[in-house]
Structure 1
Amino acid sequence: MKVTGNQQVGQEIIAVLKQWDQAICSLDLHQIIAQCSADVSLFDVSSELVGVSAYQQIWTRYQDYFQSGLRVFRDRIHIQAESQLAFVSCFSKIDVESGIPTPNILWCRTTICFRKKGDQWKIVHQHISLPTEIQDREPVKWDFS
């Protein structure tokens, strides 16, 4: 993990990211929304949306896929941190806690932008993409083990 800029803010973002990952893995919609700005935006593999209401709706679509025992895995994490704004870029995937990779769960490129409001960090933008090879348009399959 690499932190560039304000190291104290970088540590705050690491803690916020852990809370975010817990909310995601438990699909706790209240906590997910609580950690987002009202004007949050998302560019995803399959969609683009703006606003906390639309963001909440997208997460409800995943209820059938989430089960207990999940974990967010991240690799090549880079945090760029300043006093009011921070960016996290990394490779990520949600898979079983054991760490034994599930076939066809691929690593995605992820960027999350946090803005500090008062004393709280809120997600204002998230971008997730599935890298593909240009020639054959097949997903890139990384192994970070």
Structure 2
Amino acid sequence: MQSKIKIFGDQQAGEEIQQFLARWDEVICQLNIQNIAELCAADVCFFDVSCEMQSLMAYQKMWERYQNYFREGLKVYRRDLVIHADSTLAFVHCYSKIDNLNGIATPSITWCRTTIALRKIQSQWKIVHQHISVPVDVVTHRSKPLTFSC
């Protein structure tokens, strides 16, 4: 389920970011490492629940570790997508998950909080920073799955 998109700032840049995200989703679901690399800046920085890294090479290696988990028929789902953009810099935040293309949710796949920063480099949008997290209960130190009503 995709929800309404809010764009703040440069509307044209915001629309470009939406097109970029559609391409990003495609290459992620195909787990095409070369195409993933082409959409990132050389100094891309990534913060995840389990790790952090800086550099395109480290980012590529991270995605390679997921090859045994990805399969045909996947889709990136986003909720509450917000884009802040000007002509050269954009900031995106939303809830997201990768799940079955057919829309039947996999119970073990939870929603994550996602933030992506992009910069326009030589007329192309590139990811310069990405952060994915799952909320954690500070008392129990256990993840708190995000749930949404339809």
Name the TM tier (shorter chain): over 0.9
Looking at structure 2, the residues matched to 133 and 96 of structure 1 have their Cα atoms a distance apart, in angstroms, of 28
- Which of 60, 64, 71 is matched with 1:67 structurally? 71
Gaps of 5+ in 1: none
Q: Does 1:15 align with 2:19?
A: yes
| Residue in structure 1 matched with residue 37 of structure 2 by the alignment | 33
Q: Do the aligned residues in 1 keep the contact of 2:134 with 2:145 (CA within 8 Å)?
A: no
Per the TM alignment, residue 133 of structure 1 is displaced from its structure 2 partner at its CA by 2.3
Q: Does 1:121 align with 2:125?
A: yes
- Which of 10, 25, 32 is matched with 1:6 structurally? 10
* TM-score of the pair, normalised by structure 1: 0.96
Looking at structure 2, the residues matched to 136 and 100 of structure 1 have their Cα atoms a distance apart, in angstroms, of 30
| Runs of 4+, deviation exceeding 4 Å | none
SS of 2:113's equivalent?
strand
Residues paired across the two proteins, number: 145
Identical amino acids, percent of aligned pairs = 50
- Which of 81, 94, 111 is matched with 1:77 structurally? 81
Per the TM alignment, residue 98 of structure 1 is displaced from its structure 2 partner at its CA by 1.2
* TM-score of the pair, normalised by structure 2: 0.93
After superposition, what is the alpha-carbon deviation per residue over 1:38-89, rounded to whole angstroms, capped at 9, x for unaligned?
Answer: 0000001101100000000000000000000000010010000011100110
| Residue in structure 1 matched with residue 51 of structure 2 by the alignment | 47
Per the TM alignment, residue 119 of structure 1 is displaced from its structure 2 partner at its CA by 1.1
Looking at structure 1, the residues matched to 104 and 147 of structure 2 have their Cα atoms a distance apart, in angstroms, of 12
Q: Do the aligned residues in 1 keep the contact of 2:74 with 2:99 (CA within 8 Å)?
A: yes
Looking at structure 1, the residues matched to 143 and 79 of structure 2 have their Cα atoms a distance apart, in angstroms, of 17
Looking at structure 1, the residues matched to 69 and 29 of structure 2 have their Cα atoms a distance apart, in angstroms, of 11
Per the TM alignment, residue 143 of structure 1 is displaced from its structure 2 partner at its CA by 2.7
| Residue in structure 2 matched with residue 97 of structure 1 by the alignment | 101
Gaps of 5+ in 2: none
Paired amino acid for 1:25: C
Per the TM alignment, residue 142 of structure 1 is displaced from its structure 2 partner at its CA by 2.5
Q: Does 1:58 align with 2:62?
A: yes
The CA RMSD over aligned residues, in Å, is: 0.9
Looking at structure 1, the residues matched to 48 and 147 of structure 2 have their Cα atoms a distance apart, in angstroms, of 22
Paired amino acid for 2:61: Q
SS of 2:147's equivalent?
coil
| Residue in structure 2 matched with residue 139 of structure 1 by the alignment | 143
Looking at structure 2, the residues matched to 32 and 39 of structure 1 have their Cα atoms a distance apart, in angstroms, of 14
